[in-house]
Copies of this chain bind each other. A is one copy, B any other.
Amino acid sequence: MTEKNVVTAIHDALHDAMAADDRVVVLGEDVGARGGVFRVTQGFLEEFGEARVIDTPLAEGAIVGIAVGMALHGLLPVAEIEFADFIHPAFDQMVSEVARMRYRSNGDFGLPMVVRAPWGGGVHGALYHSQSVEAFFAHVPGLKVVVPSTPYDAAGMLRAAIADPDPVLFLEHKRTYRLISGEVPDEPYAVPIGPADVKREGTDLTAISYGLMLHHCLEAAARLEREHGISVEVVDVRTLNPLDRETILASVRKTGKAMVVYEDNRTYGAGAEIVATIAEEALFDLDGPLVRIGGPDVPAMGFATNLEHAFLPDVDLIAARMLELARF
């Protein structure tokens, strides 16, 4: 075990995957000499060479579409979108091509490929370097969408994603990159795509979250325990598609109260599906209202520090709503 932050864990897992299998190639803007703007591919060019560490032109549609071609012909591409905000020019490739290749060819062709994209706010990124994009893609059948939030999960799920015969959109919350550290095994291991994870056990209410907000929930839960003796169970969704309904519902059935927390624009966000699922499947197990905390429905967070704070749900807000729900 080694203590690492999220970005180092991802770097190391990707590095090991490349070292272990020369079908793995990385491509994206600035992944070469620069080692990625977040340093995820630092040192890769020197070690693995230009043919496997491909600095692409500034063209996200091509990055994803070329990865499709590579995956069709025996490679295991890991494409990097520099910021999740810039995946939109590749939307057609993601939705029409990546997600549908297997289905439309009736199983004849498959796409073992990964698209990595750093997402989320809290980094002074303003309107175009802070976005949550998971709701767009979680809705697309044929695409697996994962949102690991700890070093352990990130490394393990990246390994699972590269091994997966199907395309995986691998979303890395930028704010967690250097903020969150934890123990990571030194031996290769995988965290399966699919299962959610109970990150903190509790009995009074369930908070369901992912990304930076997961850590806010954990902090709020600790505060509630400390200050009020309230026991909050925190479920880390980890995979948005396919969604692990069982783990979520089991927790909600146990505690009888549920709260979903995410930083994306609230309306039509991924949290809506989670709330809807609970409402449909566990309505009669609930002892309190269903609570949803999401980012405000404004185009994105501002650059000014106080505007960014006004956008992002914080620990105080989450703790207050938890308390309210617990006391309901």
Residues of A within 8 A of B (CB): 61, 85, 88-89, 91-92, 95-96, 99-100, 103-104, 127-128, 135-136, 138-142, 240-241, 243, 265, 267-273, 275-276, 278-280, 283-284, 286, 289-292, 297-300
Contact = CB atoms under 8 A, between A and B. Distances in A.
Majority secondary structure of chain A interface residues (helix, strand, loop or mixed): helix
Contacts of A280: 275, 289-292
Interface hub of A135, A276, A278 (most chain B Cβ within 10 A)? A276
Contacts of A135: 139, 268
Nearest to A95: B88
B100 A96 contact: no
A269 B270 CA distance: 9
B100 A92 contact: no
A290 B279 contact: yes
A271 B280 CA distance: 12
A240 B267 CA distance: 10
A142 B299 contact: yes
Contacts of A127: 100, 103-104
Nearest to A267: B273
A240 to B, nearest CB: 8
A273 B268 contact: yes
A267 B243 contact: yes
A265 B142 CA distance: 11
Contact of A268 (B138, B279, B292): B138
A139 B104 CA distance: 27
A85 B60 CA distance: 19
Contacts of A104: 127, 299
Given A103-B298, A290-B280, A292-B280, A139 B96 contact: no
Contacts of A269: 139
A52 to B, nearest CB: 29
14 contacts: A88-B96, A89-B91, A96-B128, A100-B300, A103-B299, A103-B300, A104-B127, A141-B265, A243-B267, A267-B273, A272-B272, A275-B279, A280-B292, A284-B289
